[in-house]
């Protein structure tokens, strides 16, 4: 049931603009361009969230990179990871800028050079820009009023999800181009891209949620136990311990830096 809900949420993320494009008979190129503009907007709005959150909370997590935060499973290693107050922001910009640039190159080739995604209409492109800008600025405006109450964990999950979605989007486009070449239809590109993004994104969000709760279904526990040559009970215990260590680490990331490293405050 939980997996189905995550898949449904991932579908809804792309359903509205897709339905609008189909209803108004826009080219698939407009949809691909829209998703790239959304990526560009996240490159602007997420740093704004990060900076405001750091100013409002002084959370310790802002002094570590995204990779360090994701990989850390023990609070004992935290003090040695801390650097400067903008470390988290810099790591986000480095990852996202690289993925967004590669994504933009693919979109330029597919939409404007080879026109694999069908003919493009400048009016549709203008609407895509307007849609992405208004939506992302609207989400940012809503968050401004609640950022002071966000634990650092929520900020990290929000930002990390967008980076992961960029990577998923890139692979979705690559497979979509292959399907378009096979079927000779530009909509096969968009359909493959959307299906790939929904399924992978949904599974990733579900796996993160399951790990956070420290619980998985019997079927997945047996599959992991078989793969790792462990008992089901050991797999569940390992997951519970890992989840516990991660929660403790995030509790430390949520604390003001003055409580963890006064010398960096």
pLDDT in tens, 53-91: 999 999 988 988 888 777 665 555 565 666 677 889 999
d(CA 151, CA 197): 28
Closest by CA position to 187, among listed 34, 38, 27, 11: 27
Distance from C-alpha of 27 to C-alpha of 186, rounded to nearest angstrom: 9
pLDDT 10s per residue in the chain (265 long)? Answer: 455 654 565 666 677 788 888 888 888 898 899 989 999 999 999 999 999 999 999 998 898 888 877 766 555 556 566 667 788 999 999 989 988 998 899 899 998 888 888 888 889 989 989 999 999 999 999 999 999 999 998 899 889 888 888 888 888 888 888 998 899 888 898 889 888 888 877 777 766 666 566 566 677 677 777 777 888 788 777 777 767 777 777 788 888 888 877 777 6
**DSSP conformational letter for 1:** -
The span from the CA of 265 to the CA of 261, in Å, is 7
pTM: 0.82
Q: Using an 8 Å Cβ cutoff, are 60 and 260 in contact? A: yes
């Amino acid at each position: 049931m939980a997996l189905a809900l995550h898949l449904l949420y991932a579908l809804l993320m792309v359903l509205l603009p897709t339905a609008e494009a189909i209803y108004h008979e826009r080219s698939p190129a407009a949809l691909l361009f829209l998703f790239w503009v959304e990526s560009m907007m996240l490159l602007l709005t997420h740093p704004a969230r990060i900076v405001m959150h750091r100013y409002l909370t002084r959370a310790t997590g802002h002094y570590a990179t995204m990779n360090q935060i994701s990989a850390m499973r023990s609070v004992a290693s935290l003090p040695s990871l801390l650097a400067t107050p903008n470390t988290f922001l810099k790591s986000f910009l480095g990852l996202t800028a690289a993925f967004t640039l590669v994504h933009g190159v693919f979109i330029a080739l597919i939409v404007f050079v080879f026109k694999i995604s069908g003919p493009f209409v400048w009016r549709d492109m203008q609407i895509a820009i307007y849609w992405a800008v208004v939506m992302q600025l609207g989400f940012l405006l809503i968050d401004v009023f609640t950022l002071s109450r966000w634990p650092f964990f929520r900020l990290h999950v929000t930002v990390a999800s967008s980076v992961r979605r960029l990577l998923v989007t890139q692979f979705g486009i690559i497979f979509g181009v292959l399907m378009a070449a096979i079927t000779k239809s530009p909509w096969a590109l968009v359909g493959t891209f959307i299906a790939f993004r929904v399924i992978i994104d949904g599974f990733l969000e579900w796996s993160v949620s399951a790990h956070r709760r420290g619980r998985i279904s019997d079927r997945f526990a047996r599959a992991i136990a078989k793969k790792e040559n462990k008992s089901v009970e050991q797999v569940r215990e390992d997951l519970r311990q890992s989840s516990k260590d991660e929660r403790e680490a995030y509790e430390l990331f949520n604390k003001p830096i003055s409580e963890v490293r006064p010398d960096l405050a």
